[in-house]
Structure 1
Amino acid sequence: MKQILIIGAGNMGYTYGKSFLDSSQVTRERLFFIDQDADKAERVMTLSDNPFHTEPSGFVRSMDLILLCVKPQDFRQLSNRLLPYLSPDSIVISIMAGVSIESIRFELNCQKVVRAMPNLPAAIGKGMTVYTCQQLSQTESHEVSKLLGSTGKALEVEQEDLLDAATAISGSGPAYVYIFMKAMQQSAEAMGFDSEAAELLVRQTFEGSIDLLQQSEDGLQVWIDRVSSKGGTTEAARNTFDEQDLESAIHAGLESARVRAGELREAIKRSPAG
């Protein structure tokens, strides 16, 4: 990409700017930021040699790609200010939860739109981003894939509806991992470990298990069975999980998250212009 504009200089805007630079996909001279909050300038301008802007202006027309990192409820107000300066050839990437490609096209009168759903570990280069493109050339799609993948892994899907599922799985997923870790840590303390030792046991168990899986070609079920000796401790725990129907509870929770993502998308679509 020649020139990239990031609108929204919060944590995700900073994360993407830094990742783009670290992966050598853009230089400081070609990276720009806009945010209404001038107090955010000091942090993000460590990434850019260009002036910090609080409002869109004529310079936006020269941008090859615009990344929208603003809150969904702020989009319509932003679009009114951005529209006069938007080049029809610019690629627009949105990480706004619930704002459809159709809405972005309508509000910004643009065609080349990418909608992406990153997750929190993107901040440390371990993120999972699911995205869908419309009206991009093969070369442009490849460039977008590299940009979004600079924060971890990126997966392109054809159906935009799958972004609701991605929100439920990978977007909200870190919270589910932390919930399970917290429960394990509480159990460790109940069994007699102090809090520091309990935290070490759980963190290292999760980290080691993931690394082991990553370095192996075997799937999850193989590893589950490998740890589970017949008549042993792991089997006892698994039997209890089955009795409590843990898997069904997890499936139900993820489906609730997916449905809620769709509800929020529809609510944003129906909301009046601000």
Structure 2
Amino acid sequence: MKILIVGAGNMGTTYAESFLLSHSITKNDLLILEKTTEKADFLKEKGYKNVISEPNDKISRVQLIILAVKPQDTEVLFSILKNYILPSQTVLSIMAGVKIQTLKNSLGTSKVIRAMPNLPSQIGMGMTGFTADESVSRDELFFVQNLLNTTGKSLYFSEEEKIDAVTAISGSGPAYIYFFMEAMIEKAQEMGFSHSEAELLVTQTFMGAVHLENRSNYSCEEWIKRVSSKGGTTEAALNIFSNEKLTEKIGNGLDAAQKRAKELGE
């Protein structure tokens, strides 16, 4: 299958490299549309032969078109792309908030898949939620899922509205983790540790906790009980979190993210 990636930003280049590393495609089968001269030149220096700066007839020769551009950059681009897209081609969009129906109307095609990856996709540890129009065949969906899985793991949802929730949970999720980590690092420094010491203490704790949870059948609640002891240090911290209604506040934040994702699609 020949693939076009529109946009050579973080996710566009992540997909290109992941597809090639997994031997899903070769460089001869990959076409990249990148209007920024510096990025296009950089790709060519890395051995990407098929790099174009403007839409042309080559687009009609691919089977899958991946839209990895910002939503605000699409109005002019879509009006031009529409002239080259065929009904037989499948379109995969990773643009936040842009609904399948909007893509169908803008591009004049029905075979549309909408996905929401996250930042760890850059190191093969990503989480992607995706959905598709009913006109996308089972084989096409299976092929695209295999491509998405080269960057980590993926989940298919038949209900498109769940993609806004995916955006709030896993799409934006890494920022919430970094926020909590930064708060712990800052407090560790207040307790007398150097920045490098604080960073190591916190990052290794997060990494170890996640790996431990992944390798067991225990729930997070069960792990919390295993770390805690009656009248101990962990319980003292958890009591503060509970009194401050931290769980409720986290939920409110996720609700706000989901609401904003829906607003972007309106």
- 1:107 corresponds to which residue? 106
**Structure 1 CA distance, aligned partners of 2:10 and 2:168?**
21
Name 1:173's counterpart in structure 2.
173
1:157-177, Cα deviation, whole Å (9 max, x unpaired): 111111111111111111110
State the Cα deviation string for residues 45-80 of structure 1 (Å, max 9, x = none): 325332x21111111111100000111012121111
Q: Deviations over 1:89-147 (max 9, x none)?
A: 11100011111100110111111100111111111111111110112111111101111
SS at match of 1:20: helix
Task: Report what 1:20 is aligned to.
Answer: 19
Inter-partner Cα distance in structure 2 for 1:117 and 1:5: 18
| CA displacement at 1:239 relative to structure 2 | 0.9
TM value normalised by structure 1: 0.94
SS in structure 2 opposite 1:88? coil
1:229 aligned partner? 229
Cα drift, residue 232 of structure 1: 1.0
Q: CA deviation at 1:42?
A: 2.8
| Residue matched to 2:198 | 198
Contact 1:61–1:87 under 8 Å retained in 2: yes
Aligned to 2:214: 214
Where 1:176 maps in the other structure, the secondary structure is helix
Runs of 4+ in 1 over 4 A off after TM superposition: none
CA distance in 2, matches of 1:118, 1:106: 23
> What is the alpha-carbon distance in structure 2 between the residues aligned to residue 205 and residue 84 of structure 1?
52
Return the letter of the residue paired with 1:247. T
| Distance of 2:42 and 2:147 partners within structure 1 | 21
1:195 and 1:7 map into 2 onto residues whose CA distance is 40
Aligned residue for 1:90? 89
Equivalent residue letter for 1:15:
T
Give how far 1:24 is off: 1.1
Shift of 1:219: 1.5
Matches of 1:42 and 1:108, distance apart in 2: 28
Shift of 1:148: 1.1
TM-score of the pair, normalised by structure 2: 0.96
Task: Give % identity.
Answer: 48
- Contact map agreement 2:40 2:53 (CA 8 A) in 1: no
SS at match of 2:83: helix
SS at match of 2:153: strand
Partner of 2:7: 8
Distance 1:43 1:118 in 2: 24
In the alignment, what sits opposite 1:271? none
Segments of 5+ residues of structure 2 without an aligned counterpart are none
- Is the CA contact (8 Å cut-off) linking 1:94 and 1:115 kept in structure 2? yes
Unmatched runs of 5 consecutive residues or more in structure 1? 267-274
Change (3 A) 1:166 1:47: farther
- Name the SS for the 2:238 alignment partner: helix
CA distance in 1, matches of 2:201, 2:123: 23
Q: 1:44 Cα shift?
A: 2.6
Q: Which amino acid aligns with 1:35?
A: E
> Is the contact made by 1:69 and 1:94 (CA closer than 8 Å) also made in structure 2?
yes
Root-mean-square deviation (CA), in Å?
A: 1.1
Indicate if the aligned counterparts of 1:92 and 1:113 stay in contact, CA closer than 8 A.
yes
- Figure out how many residues of one structure are paired with residues of the other and give that number: 264
Name the CA distance, whole Å, in 1 between partners of 2:264 and 2:110.
24
Query: Residue 270 of structure 1 aligns with which residue?
Result: none
The match for 1:148 is: 148
1:38 to partner: Cα distance: 2.0
| Alpha carbons 1:62, 1:87 under 8 Å: kept | no
C-alpha separation in 1, matches of 2:246 and 2:212? 24
Partner of residue 262, structure 1: 262
What SS is found at the alignment partner of 2:54? Answer: coil
